[in-house]
């Protein structure tokens, strides 16, 4: 097995900057320089995105930035002992020990287990003391390899009681208690019945570090209190489910998770403490105490039965949210699940047009049914790439069209899911299918999804007999919610929504001149307002939702898509131009490095490439981006540029009509934004920009 860490991946007592971003970039460069990653920027982007989701600092002056990345070729550990320390978000202060865990997307289970094992070792005080006392890179490597093979750490200041290792689904604390021959005492509320029994699930998005550290921390805290705690770690190196008998005997459950708990229904009815996985590392004792208190509290929040008791979950989660926040959350959930159908389907349709010609729409059905690779069509569009191109184009077009056919049902289904959890999915999909059948389109999907979700939610609140609870989520809720929501769509709401949709489509199709330019300006402003946030997503969703209605005779949806994509490319390209070409001195070293990556991100239509610049200087970057985006949107609409693909930037040139003007609009907007941000940085409230100390980068 490949060695996880080598001396060339260790940095001792160095100044790597004063921000997590600088440290992570430096360690990513060491991984790439060691030949363990194909590029620095891709690895840095994945690691820093994970850092922005949840800070990776943990108590004890330690940080564990980590990620899975397609740029990583070999599972790797890079380590830095910092001087000075850098704040990675831990409650007890900055970190001086930083372990960067880089795993490939397809890392094997053995490597993942070792990476997870190292993360768990970092909560052991003797191990971290030895790391701080190590005099050389070779000594660090020896200590890490010793931790991975369970050798005792050398150079420790004093031995410290270690957390009992937790195998997924195995009760370490309970095992320790029973091995002693007498039950532990002192659990709050035990009342003479022996220790309280708790179960827990830990999980984080990456599933390498925090998942297992939280498990060990919770077990150690529970053991000190005399509590029997068994943990299920839902991580990347595999998970073994807790024994149903163990769950049934538990007095309460702890969810220390940043993602959905798999098999959550197994814990239905148990008092629950729910918190981010990092709290399981930072405050394990408090979480155990809260779970013990919940076990004795008849009014404590409980894991829902996904039916009759679902109200408890939603009331707890939604407390303090107003209706606007709830609607926004539901709509963004629907859009996020819808986009993959549209992105994949749209690109397939674009490829179908490329190979089969624009008239392939008239031939596709007959070709895919009546022909094959061994029986190529004889009737096909004149501009197709011959019989084979016509056949493949028809197949690609049809697959894409069928994928796009899920646009409205998926939107409605997952809006309902956001409101009513899993029981809302089926009624939402049905209501969305009804909206599509009636021609109510995108608006019909939104209305149908909201109806299905809220009706499923209300049906789920009904108090029913215990024997009927099992039927609620699989029969009763889908039946009643589908009947009511889809019935309302057919009988009352569908007709007016269809009329509105047709009127909107007719208005968009008839936009010319100033009207089209104004729409381009609005879309450009929205795309650049929050760089991938809710406003950006609204504009993008509006564009992709119309692709299914576009035809040769009605090209307005394609033109809207082109304006949205072109405008979204402007901010990262402009930041790249300004920071790497026009005026480097106005940007920090970190921003200059980000600017190099932003060229490719912008060309690929990834607006988020401008986020590091906007985060550092929002009052200059965002207005400048909006100005350039508005210019680009206006030029694109005025020139009649069209895009049959919903994503891909310049790399889907074959799917873009009037590609020259598409490029011209982007170039003009990019220059406008770049010059604007430079002007604002020079003359609008000057400030020192070189606040980040130089970071040596090895490539």
Higher pLDDT, 300 or 149: 300
Q: Which of 615, 575, 590 is nearest to 22 (CA)?
A: 590
pLDDT range class, residue 571, cuts 50, 70, 90: very high
- The answer on pLDDT for 162 being more than 80 is no
Candidate ranges 31-45, 216-230, 459-473, 624-638; pick with highest mean pLDDT: 624-638
pLDDT range class, residue 361, cuts 50, 70, 90: confident
Residue 550, burial from CB neighbour count under 10 angstroms (0-12, 13-18, 19+): buried
1-10, 316-325, 463-472: segment of lowest average pLDDT: 316-325
Residue 204 designated active-site? yes
pLDDT range class, residue 343, cuts 50, 70, 90: low
Could you give the angle at which helices 20-33 and 589-603 cross, rounded to 10 degrees?
70
Angstrom distance (rounded) from CA 488 to CA 171 = 51
- The answer on pLDDT for 399 being more than 50 is yes
Q: What percent of the chain has pLDDT over 90?
A: 26
Look up the pTM and report it.
0.48
353-362, 411-420, 686-695: segment of lowest average pLDDT: 686-695
Annotate 107-150 with DSSP letters as a single string.
--HHHHHHHHHHHHHTT-HHHHHHHHH--SHHHHHHHHHHHHTT
336-340, 427-431, 520-524, 628-632: segment of lowest average pLDDT: 336-340
Backbone angles phi, psi at 651, to 5 degrees: -80, -10
Q: What percent of the chain has pLDDT over 70?
A: 81
Strands 62-63 and 57-58: antiparallel
- The answer on pLDDT for 83 being more than 50 is yes
- The answer on pLDDT for 532 being more than 70 is no
pLDDT range class, residue 195, cuts 50, 70, 90: low
Q: What's residue 666's pLDDT?
A: 95
Q: What's residue 382's pLDDT?
A: 81
- Exactly one of 26, 111, 204, 457 is catalytic; which is it? 204
CB within 8 Å of 350: residues ≥ 6 apart: 400, 644, 645, 652, 654, 655
pLDDT range class, residue 676, cuts 50, 70, 90: very high
Angstrom distance (rounded) from CA 94 to CA 57 = 8
Angstrom distance (rounded) from CA 249 to CA 465 = 23
Residue 305 designated active-site? no
- The answer on pLDDT for 627 being more than 90 is yes
pLDDT, tens digit, 9 for 90 and up, residues 232-279: 888 655 567 888 888 988 999 999 887 777 778 888 888 999 888 888
Q: What's residue 662's pLDDT?
A: 94
Angstrom distance (rounded) from CA 315 to CA 321 = 10
Q: 633 with 639: CB under 8 angstroms?
A: no
Q: What's residue 466's pLDDT?
A: 67
Candidate ranges 166-175, 347-356, 573-582; pick with highest mean pLDDT: 573-582
Q: What's residue 508's pLDDT?
A: 60
Q: What is the mean pLDDT of residues 80-86?
A: 92
- The answer on pLDDT for 351 being more than 50 is yes
Q: What's residue 95's pLDDT?
A: 92
Q: What mean pLDDT is reported for the chain?
A: 79
pLDDT, tens digit, 9 for 90 and up, residues 305-336: 654 444 444 454 555 555 666 777 777 778 77
Q: What's residue 190's pLDDT?
A: 41
124-138, 140-154, 592-606: segment of lowest average pLDDT: 140-154
- The answer on pLDDT for 615 being more than 80 is no
pLDDT, tens digit, 9 for 90 and up, residues 486-516: 999 999 988 898 888 777 666 665 666 678 8
- The answer on pLDDT for 698 being more than 50 is no
Residue 278 is encoded by which pair of tokens? 């990092």
Candidate ranges 115-124, 319-328, 494-503, 531-540; pick with highest mean pLDDT: 494-503
188-192, 441-445, 452-456, 466-470: segment of lowest average pLDDT: 188-192
Q: What's residue 475's pLDDT?
A: 85
pLDDT, tens digit, 9 for 90 and up, residues 13-70: 989 988 899 999 999 999 999 999 988 988 998 888 888 877 888 888 899 898 888 8
Q: What's residue 322's pLDDT?
A: 59
- The answer on pLDDT for 218 being more than 70 is yes
Q: What's residue 436's pLDDT?
A: 85
- The answer on pLDDT for 129 being more than 80 is yes
Residue 552, burial from CB neighbour count under 10 angstroms (0-12, 13-18, 19+): exposed
- Exactly one of 26, 66, 210, 647 is catalytic; which is it? 66
Intra-chain end-to-end CA distance of the chain, in Å: 25
pLDDT, tens digit, 9 for 90 and up, residues 54-81: 788 888 889 989 888 888 888 888 999 9
């Amino acid at each position: 097995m490949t060695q996880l860490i080598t001396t060339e991946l260790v940095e001792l007592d160095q100044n790597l900057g004063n921000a997590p971003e600088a440290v992570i970039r430096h360690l990513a460069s060491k991984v790439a320089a060691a030949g363990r990653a194909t590029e620095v920027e891709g690895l840095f982007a994945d690691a820093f995105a994970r850092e922005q989701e949840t800070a990776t600092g943990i108590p004890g002056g330690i940080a564990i930035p980590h990620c899975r990345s397609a740029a990583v070729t070999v599972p790797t550990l890079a380590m830095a002992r910092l001087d000075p320390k850098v704040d990675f978000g831990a409650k007890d202060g900055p970190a001086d020990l930083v372990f960067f865990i880089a795993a490939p997307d397809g890392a094997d289970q053995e490597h993942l287990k070792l990476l997870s094992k190292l993360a768990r070792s970092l909560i052991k005080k003797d191990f971290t003391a030895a790391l701080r006392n190590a005099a050389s890179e070779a000594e660090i490597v020896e200590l890490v390899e010793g931790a991975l093979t369970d050798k005792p750490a050398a150079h420790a200041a004093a031995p410290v009681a270690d957390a009992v290792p937790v195998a997924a689904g195995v009760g370490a604390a309970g095992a320790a208690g029973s091995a002693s021959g007498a039950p532990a005492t002192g659990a709050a509320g035990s009342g003479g019945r022996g220790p309280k029994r708790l179960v827990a699930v830990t999980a984080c998005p990456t599933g390498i570090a925090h998942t297992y550290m939280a498990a060990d921390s919770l077990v150690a805290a529970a053991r000190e209190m005399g509590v029997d705690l068994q943990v299920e770690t839902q991580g990347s190196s595999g998970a073994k489910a807790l024994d149903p008998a163990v769950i049934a005997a538990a007095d309460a459950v702890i969810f220390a998770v940043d993602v959905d708990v798999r098999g959550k229904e197994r814990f239905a009815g148990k008092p629950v403490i729910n918190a981010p996985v990092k709290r399981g590392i930072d405050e394990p004792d408090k979480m155990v105490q809260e779970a013990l208190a919940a076990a004795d509290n008849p009014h404590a929040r409980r894991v829902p039965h996904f039916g009759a008791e679902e109200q408890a979950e939603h009331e707890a989660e939604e407390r303090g949210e107003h209706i606007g926040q709830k609607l926004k959350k539901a709509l963004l959930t629907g859009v996020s699940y819808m986009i993959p159908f549209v992105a994949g389907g749209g690109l397939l349709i674009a490829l179908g047009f490329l190979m089969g010609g624009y008239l392939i729409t008239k031939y596709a059905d007959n070709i895919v049914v009546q022909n094959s690779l061994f029986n190529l069509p004889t009737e096909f569009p004149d501009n197709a790439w011959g019989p084979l191109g016509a056949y493949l184009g028809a197949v690609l077009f049809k697959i894409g069209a069928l994928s796009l056919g899920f646009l409205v049902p998926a939107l409605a289904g997952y809006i309902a899911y956001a409101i009513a959890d899993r029981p809302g999915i089926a009624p939402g999909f049905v209501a969305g299918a009804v909206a599509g059948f009636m021609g109510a389109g995108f608006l019909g999907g939104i209305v149908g999804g909201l109806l299905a979700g809220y009706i499923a939610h209300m049906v789920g609140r009904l108090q029913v007999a215990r024997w009927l609870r099992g039927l609620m989520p699989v029969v009763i809720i889908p039946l009643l919610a589908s009947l009511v929501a889809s019935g309302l769509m057919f009988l009352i709401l569908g007709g007016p929504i269809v009329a509105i949709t047709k009127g909107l489509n007719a208005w968009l199709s008839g936009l010319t001149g100033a009207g089209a330019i104004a729409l381009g300006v609005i879309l450009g402003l929205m795309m650049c307002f929050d760089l991938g946030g809710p406003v950006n997503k609204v504009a993008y969703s509006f564009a992709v939702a119309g692709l299914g209605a576009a035809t040769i005779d009605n090209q307005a949806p394609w033109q809207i898509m082109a304006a949205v994509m072109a405008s979204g490319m402007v901010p990262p390209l402009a930041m790249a131009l300004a920071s790497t070409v026009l005026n480097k001195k106005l940007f920090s070293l970190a921003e200059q490095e980000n600017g190099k990556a932003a060229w490719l991100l912008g060309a690929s239509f990834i607006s988020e490439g401008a986020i590091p610049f906007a985060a550092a200087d929002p009052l200059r970057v965002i207005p400048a981006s909006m100005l350039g985006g508005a210019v680009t949107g206006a030029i694109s609409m005025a020139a009649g540029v069209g895009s049959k693909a919903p994503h891909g930037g310049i790399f889907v040139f074959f799917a873009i009509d009037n590609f020259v003007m598409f490029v011209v609009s982007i170039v003009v907007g990019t220059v406008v934004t770049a010059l604007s941000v430079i002007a604002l940085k020079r003359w609008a409230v000057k400030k020192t920009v070189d606040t980040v100390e130089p970071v040596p980068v090895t490539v």
